[in-house]
Structure 1
Amino acid sequence: MLYNQVNFIKQGSTANIDSFKKRMLDCEQVQQCFYVTGHTDFILIITSQNMLKNVK
């Protein structure tokens, strides 16, 4: 299980945030997606057979 923080470079518009949420719903590796306040916009909980494959 991998925990990941997602930060938008610019202030995310509502359309961008909604689009990101929808993409996360379609991603089978994403087990949980939390929209949070502060410096981080989202926290993802991801599962993977090969963690190194998903690190970029």
Structure 2
Amino acid sequence: MAETPKLSVEKALEKLRSADAPKSKNARRAEEMDALDDEIKRMRAQRLRLDRHQRRSTERD
């Protein structure tokens, strides 16, 4: 059986953290803006559904 080199916990954590390279400030902001844009789209769609529902209920009365 082949022996595998063992890493210390500290070195293993360093390797894992280095794989998650820190993002630039602009990249983080872009991701946040995309998430906010998606949230705005979702809220607009919800508002339109509610408006349609309210119009239907007032037309029936």
> Which protein has greater RCO, CA pairs closer than 8 Å, 6+ apart?
1
Larger radius of gyration: 2
- Name the one with the larger strand percent: 1
- Name the one with the larger helix percent: 2
> What is the TM-score normalised by the length of structure 1?
0.32
